[in-house]
């Protein structure tokens, strides 16, 4: 199982799921996206296919032919590209809280976020980003989690963030997702804005795709509803095993 994360986060966000899967006998690889966590930061600009190529490079470096790919937000976006262009490297796709296109209303706010980061660093985005992900109530009742994610966001390199943000603005896989033949499960937090509806649409476009909506969860359902999320993830892996 290979796991990728959201922008302004890092592989640490999958710590709980990785441990549970490892306890069940899975080999788990958590990847830090370029410019995030402990990964290097190649010069921007980036496009989403660069992140797809990064995933393939990790597989090649580890001599792994195929994986169950789990991606959330930015990791889910690049996962659509992986399914379209690199199906031969996949056993299954579990794509969480992600869309496959960037309409103007979705793309525009990234300009302001990039401007803030360039003026004041990624630390200036940490509080607003985590509040958008979790909501104020969750952050108040889970201050340790909120603080950890804010620290991770603040530690993101400026070039890594801006490069990935521009890649998000150029996201354009929607017209090709019908080409995905890999067993696919889409997972989304019920409270994650417009994404539940967007992922309903994606389910209708990807043959055989399943949709799991996590109640009382926001943009990172693996964090705010980990037990329910993990059940959905294990259900996906069990389904995918039937097709393997």
SS3 206: coil
Over the stretch 115-171, which tens digit does the pLDDT of each residue have? 999 999 999 999 999 999 999 999 999 999 999 999 999 999 999 999 999 999 999
pLDDT band at residue 223 under the 50/70/90 scheme: very high
**Has residue 243 got a pLDDT over 70?**
no
Categorise residue 97: left if φ over 0, alpha if ψ from -120 to 50, beta otherwise: left
**What is the spatial distance between Cα 153 and Cα 156, in angstroms, rounded to a whole number?**
5
Identify each DSSP E strand in 48-112 by its residue range: 67-72, 90-96
pLDDT at 118: 98
Over the stretch 61-97, which tens digit does the pLDDT of each residue have? 999 999 999 999 999 999 999 999 999 999 999 999 9
**Has residue 98 got a pLDDT over 90?**
yes
pLDDT at 32: 98
18-27 long-range contacts (CB < 8 A, ≥24 apart) are: 20/230, 21/233, 24/234, 26/1, 26/237, 27/1
**Has residue 50 got a pLDDT over 90?**
yes
pLDDT at 242: 76
pLDDT at 241: 84
**What is the spatial distance between Cα 32 and Cα 199, in angstroms, rounded to a whole number?**
24
Q: What is the mean pLDDT of the chain?
A: 97
**Has residue 41 got a pLDDT over 90?**
yes
């Amino acid at each position: 199982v290979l796991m990728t994360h959201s922008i302004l986060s890092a592989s640490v966000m999958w710590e709980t799921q990785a441990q549970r899967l490892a306890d069940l006998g899975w080999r788990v690889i958590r990847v830090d996206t370029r410019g995030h966590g402990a990964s290097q930061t190649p010069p921007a600009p980036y496009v989403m296919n660069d992140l797809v190529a990064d995933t393939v490079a990790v597989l090649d470096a580890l001599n792994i032919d195929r994986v169950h790919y789990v991606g959330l937000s930015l990791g889910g976006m690049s996962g659509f590209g992986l399914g379209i262009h690199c199906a031969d490297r996949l056993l299954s796709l579990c794509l969480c809280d992600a869309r496959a296109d960037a309409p103007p209303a979705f793309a525009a706010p990234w300009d302001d976020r990039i401007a803030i980061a360039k003026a004041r660093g990624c630390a200036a985005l940490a509080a607003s980003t985590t509040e958008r992900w979790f909501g104020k109530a969750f952050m108040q009742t889970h201050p340790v989690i909120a603080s950890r994610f804010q620290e991770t966001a603040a530690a993101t390199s400026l070039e890594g963030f801006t490069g990935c943000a521009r890649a998000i603005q150029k996201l354009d896989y929607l017209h090709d997702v019908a080409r995905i033949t890999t067993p696919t499960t889409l997972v989304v937090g019920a409270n994650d804005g417009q994404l539940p509806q967007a992922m309903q649409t994606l389910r209708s476009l990807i043959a055989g795709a399943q949709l799991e909506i996590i109640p009382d969860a926001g943009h990172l359902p693996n964090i705010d509803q980990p037990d329910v999320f993990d059940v959905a993830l294990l259900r996906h892996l069990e389904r995918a095993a039937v097709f393997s």
